[in-house]
Structure 1
Amino acid sequence: MKMSKVGNQTNSQDPQAVNSRVFVGNLNTFQCSKTDVERMFQRYGRLAGISMHKGYAFVQFTNPFDARSACLGEDGRTVLSQILGKCNKIFSF
């Protein structure tokens, strides 16, 4: 599978973007790279951005349906001997 060039912008406050964003918690970021996260989530749809932080990441999809599918598919998955604790879609209120 060819890896695309995914940016790191995941902080847009646009309602469409907010509803297309996934929070990935309990992520072993010492061993898991941005490329690894891209490989995990690209199966759910087009990725607009990934931002990595210590112990968690945000994954920005281009539409909310793909973000929801990713949450349902990845929540509780074991990655590098750690269970993804919270893989949640970010909701705007």
Structure 2
Amino acid sequence: INTAPKEVLLALDESMSQVLVDEIDSKRRSEAFKKVDDLHNVIGMDADLLFRIQDYLCVKSQTFSVDVTVLSTPGRIKLHSVVSRESGAIKVLRWEIR
């Protein structure tokens, strides 16, 4: 929940609206969700919808995407990577220059 792109949240169920996804995003930016059940506190989330999507959600992740933009003369370089965190060690799973 805390790191999923809005597009992923929107695709979880036909009843997920952009307004609800924006509300989830707003809440998680102010404070990370500690448990999936915390979604009950999001305006627009009802018990039936949460029941349908709860098996697809978690609040902890070991895999993250990292996007870095370096600005310098004469231009800009963008790097996109996917990393995994296991036992405190970071492992790069994939990277590309865009």
**More helix per residue:** 2
Q: TM-score range by the shorter chain?
A: 0.3 to 0.5
**TM-score scaled by length of structure 1:** 0.33
**Structure with greater strand percent:** 2
Q: Which has the higher contact order (CA 8 A, sep 6+)?
A: 1
